Amino acid sequence: MSDGAAQLLDSLDALACGLFLLTSFGIVATRQARGCLQLFIAQSLLLAASAALLGLRFHAAHLYGVALVNLVTKPIIVPWLLRKTSPAGIYTRREVEQVLNIPVTLTISLALAIFAYFVGIPLARAAGPQFVGPNVPIGVAGLLLGALTLTVRREALPLLVGLLAMENGAFLAGISIARDLGMLVELAIATDGLVIVFIMGVLVRAVQQHVGTTAVGELASLRESGGQSGDAEVTT
């Protein structure tokens, strides 16, 4: 491979990672559940693109497999499964109230991204001199931002998307470090993810049927509604 082509592939991979970071920020801060899901789909496509580019760059056929698995499961099967299992009204729902307001959440997520670079760069260096690239730090950032999504969101679907985004982040870091993991592992992880989505979808449907809402962040106050204190009423 010529030097110029390698450089171009490197910067295209870095671009995919940079946009991946942007979608992670978006998932934390988007109000509407549908937008959150669309950002997740875009993020998965970027992950697949990064895997394919790294495969091309290092001639690792295994990474094409990763790209293919990601291309099939996350942008296609996950939304389809969610549509099948969870109630339809969930997609148009807006989060009226978040734990923190959006500018504060964004500021925290910026700090997390910078922290991820401080953690991720030494991690990549420790893995070996050939692993320097934006994949590991941005993957760690994706992981942390997914965790932040889980923390600040109160609607069921964005929470699920946050969980899946964490997995995406781990994948993004993983594909640059382990270029020839067994294909079986990838398939197992992908199936695992689908099972999680399926179970969560069914769970969300059950929650909605019982409680009439998918704002699971409010379920904590529901538990106390048996009786004694005055502030225990359920607000929807």
Partner 1 sequence: MTQHILFNLLQVAVVLGFAPLAAGVLARLKEIVQSKRGPSVVQPYRDLWKLFHKDEVVSEESSWIFRFTPYVLFVTPIFVVLLIPVLTTYPLFLAFMGDMLGVGFVLALGGFFSTVAAVDAANPFGAVGASRTRMVSFLAEPVFMIVFFTVSFVAGSTIPYIVQQKWVTPIANFFTPSHVLLMIAFVMLILAEGGRIPVDNPSGHFELAMIDESKWLEYSGPGLALVKWGGQMKFFVLMCVFLNVLVTPWGLASGHTLGAVVLAIPLVLLKILGFLLVLVVIESSLAKLRLFRIVEFLGAAFITAVAAMIVQVFSA
Shortest spacing between CB 181 and partner 1, in angstroms? 25
Shortest spacing between CB 142 and partner 1, in angstroms? 12
Nearer to partner 1, 76 or 132 (CB): 132
Nearer to partner 1, 134 or 158 (CB): 134
Residue 95, both tokens: 């989060």
Shortest spacing between CB 137 and partner 1, in angstroms? 7
**Nearest one of 205, 138, 191 to 168, comparing CA atoms:** 138
**Nearest one of 76, 57, 51 to 183, comparing CA atoms:** 51
**Nearest one of 192, 175, 203, 150 to 58, comparing CA atoms:** 175
Q: How far is CA 202 from CA 86, 87, 111, 190, 199, in A?
A: 6, 9, 35, 19, 5
- Give CA–CA dist 198/34, Å, rounded: 18
**Nearest one of 146, 191, 186, 174 to 40, comparing CA atoms:** 146
Shortest spacing between CB 106 and partner 1, in angstroms? 5
Cβ burial 172-202 (10 Å sphere, 16+ → b, else e): bbbbbeebebeeeebeebbeebeeebbebbe
Nearer to partner 1, 111 or 185 (CB): 111
Nearer to partner 1, 19 or 222 (CB): 19
Shortest spacing between CB 127 and partner 1, in angstroms? 16
Chain residues binding partner 1 by CB under 8 A are 4, 7-8, 10-12, 14-15, 17-19, 21-22, 25-26, 29, 102-103, 106, 109-110, 113-114, 117, 121, 133-134, 137-138
Nearer to partner 1, 129 or 230 (CB): 129
Shortest spacing between CB 113 and partner 1, in angstroms? 6
Q: Are 55 and 25 in contact (CB under 8 A)?
A: no
Nearer to partner 1, 19 or 68 (CB): 19
